Amino acid sequence: MSMMMEKIEISTADRIREAYAEHFGQAATRLFRSPGRINLIGEHTDYNQGFVLPASVDKAVYFALSPRSDARVILHAVDLGATYAFDLHDLAKPADSWPYYQLGILDQLQKNGYRIGGFQAAFGSDLPVGAGMSSSAALECCLLFALNELFVLGLDRLAIVKMAQRAENEYVGVNCGIMDQFASVFGKAESVIRLDCRSLEYEYFPFAMNEYLLVLCDTSVKHSLASSEYNTRRQECEAGVAILQKYQPDIQSLRDATPALVEAHREELGEVIYRRCKYMTEEIRRVQEACELLLRGDLVGFGAKMYQTHDGLQHEYEVSCEELDFLVEQTRADSNVLGARMMGGGFGGCTINLVRADAVEEFETYQKKAYFQAYGIPLPCYRVRITDGTGEIL
């Protein structure tokens, strides 16, 4: 299932290829790329079996690798200047956490009875870590895709997605949904993916960026609450389901509940669980409505939905943070911005902004200035290009 890739971000690809040659003293056999993702709308809905609207972007993880004749694995993290070597039969967690993602993949392969030999790899990325663009999912998907090719394991793309997600759940310990891995593996140039996270049916929607651009503003902060609160949100949603099931036994997840049902049981849910369920049932509907707007070419309506999502994430789901709220607030009076919201798991990372193309320069300038004045932190801005998903660079 090799895939010819368009030659994008070649400088990072070359950098990793060269770093491999320098570290291992010979050229790598193969080179693979897995992109990060954006998500236009549908946040935290994946683990509630709702809908999401992500796309894979022009920032990615690259793995250069070759098989070995023994059972040794050597991982060279180019961007960290660190190397970790181990035997395939010893997947114990090392002191440093950076190899967890790769070990998680090998752990999954073993648990599922896939046999591979040793290999050596150099990897690195141009994907900002901690920016909420799924650098960890990209890392997992890239290695698994590469090993699938190298050792001819016969996994299809969906199997890769599911196994990479389980690596994150079981080995890394983050109970993430399926969106990030799906977007990284199934991404398609100039398209967003509407994914039903229950059936895993998906549809590509053309998203040509001509008059408007998607711009990410990177707060450059990642508050430590991120992964613990993520797992807490999942539990809160499950607690909501358990209560609502008393009144509607066929509810399996918040996907099956309506905002009216949540409202009717507000008192019993309690204030916190009520707010989580309210946001979730509304957001799942909002993604569907937003897709309709997109199909009709109504980007103004679509942008308004992005703001509603942010408001819900800020006040009801409570996964935003001061810096994200500040950046979104800044855009509200700007008629060149159709929509803005925090993106991803929250507690830091990026906002995603739908901005009139001819005003992007101006937008970035005022955001950078205001952010620096408020927090003393430079604000990287990324103009996103939607590219193909995971594949081999030939």
Residues that bind ligand GAF (CB under 6 A): 43-44, 46-47, 134, 176-177, 179-180, 344-345
| Cα separation values, 323 from 42, 217, 283, 329, Å | 21, 11, 22, 10
The DSSP bridge pattern shows strands 51-52 and 191-196 to be antiparallel
CB-CB neighbours of 215 under 10 Å: 22
Looking at the Cβ atoms of 47 and 100, the one nearer to ligand GAF is 47
Nearest distance from residue 237's CB to ligand GAF, in Å?
11
Looking at the Cβ atoms of 188 and 234, the one nearer to ligand GAF is 234
Cβ-contact 382, 216 below 8 angstroms? yes
Going by C-alpha positions, the residue among 388, 374, 236 that lies closest to residue 317 is 236
CB-CB neighbours of 348 under 10 Å: 23
Nearest distance from residue 268's CB to ligand GAF, in Å?
26
Residues annotated as catalytic (active site), given as ranges: 180
Cβ-contact 23, 199 below 8 angstroms? no
Backbone angles phi, psi at 190, to 5 degrees: 60, 25
Looking at the Cβ atoms of 36 and 124, the one nearer to ligand GAF is 36
Distance CA 186, CA 183 (A): 5
| Cα separation values, 284 from 53, 171, 290, 352, Å | 11, 29, 10, 19
Q: Which residue has the tokens 């693979």?
A: 32
| Cα separation values, 316 from 182, 311, 313, 320, 361, Å | 27, 8, 6, 10, 33
Nearest distance from residue 134's CB to ligand GAF, in Å?
6
Distance CA 295, CA 221 (A): 35
Distance CA 382, CA 360 (A): 11
Looking at the Cβ atoms of 28 and 344, the one nearer to ligand GAF is 344
Looking at the Cβ atoms of 350 and 354, the one nearer to ligand GAF is 350
Nearest distance from residue 11's CB to ligand GAF, in Å?
27
Nearest distance from residue 10's CB to ligand GAF, in Å?
27
**Where do runs of H (alpha helix) occur along the chain?**
10-24, 100-111, 135-150, 157-167, 179-186, 226-244, 259-264, 266-269, 271-295, 299-315, 322-331, 360-375
Nearest distance from residue 73's CB to ligand GAF, in Å?
25
Looking at the Cβ atoms of 47 and 171, the one nearer to ligand GAF is 47
